[in-house]
A and B are shown apart, each in its own frame.
Chain A
Amino acid sequence: MQELINRAKELLANGTVARVLGWKAGDLPYNPEPAFFTTAEELDNFVYNGFCGANLSKYMIAASKLEGKTMVCLKPCDTYSFNQLIKEHRVDREKAYIVGVGCKGKLSIEKVKDLGIKGITAVSGAEMSDDAETLTFQTIYGDKSCAYADAMLERCHVCKGKEHMVYDELIGESKDTKDAERFAEVEKIEAMSPAEKFAFFQKELSKCIRCNACRNVCPACSCRKCVFDSTKFDSAQKANVDSFEEKMFHIIRAFHVAGRCTDCGECSRVCPQGIPLHLFNRKFIKDIDELYGEYQAGADTDSKAPLTNFTFDDAEPSIVTKR
Chain B
Amino acid sequence: MSINNEEFRPKIVAFCCNWCSYAGADLAGSSRLAYPADVKIIRVPCSCRVNPMFILRAFEKGADGVIICGCHPGDCHYSTGNYYARRRMTLLFSMLDYMGVENGRTRVEWVSAAEGVKFSQTMNEFVEKIHSLGENVRLGDLRCKN
Contact = CB atoms under 8 A, between A and B. Distances in A.
B124 interface: no
Q: Which of A245, A292, A317 has the most CB of B within 10 A?
A: A317
Contact of B86 (A234, A243, A247, A310): A310
Contacts, number: 112
Contacts of A241: 143
A244 B84 contact: no
A197 B74 contact: no
B56 A283 contact: no
Contacts of A323: 94
Contacts of B42: none
B56 A242 contact: no
Given A227-B53, A255-B92, A319-B90, A194 B108 contact: no
Interface residues of A, number: 48
A199 B143 CA distance: 20
Nearest to B88: A307
Contact of B91 (A227, A258, A316): A258
Contact of B52 (A251, A280, A311, A316): A251
Contacts of B104: 321
Nearest to A189: B98
B87 A314 contact: yes
Interface size class of B (residues with CB under 8 A): 35 or more
B83 interface: yes
Q: Which of B60, B73, B88, B100 has the most CB of A within 10 A?
A: B100
Nearest to A311: B83
Nearest to A283: B98
Given A198-B101, A199-B100, A318-B107, A244 B139 contact: yes
Interface of B: 52-53, 56-57, 59-60, 73-74, 80, 83-84, 86-104, 106-108, 138-143
Interface of A: 186, 189-190, 192, 194-201, 227, 234, 241-245, 247-248, 251-252, 254-255, 258, 280, 283-284, 287-288, 291-292, 306-308, 310-312, 314-321, 323
11 contacts: A196-B100, A197-B99, A198-B138, A244-B139, A245-B141, A247-B139, A252-B52, A252-B56, A314-B86, A317-B90, A320-B93
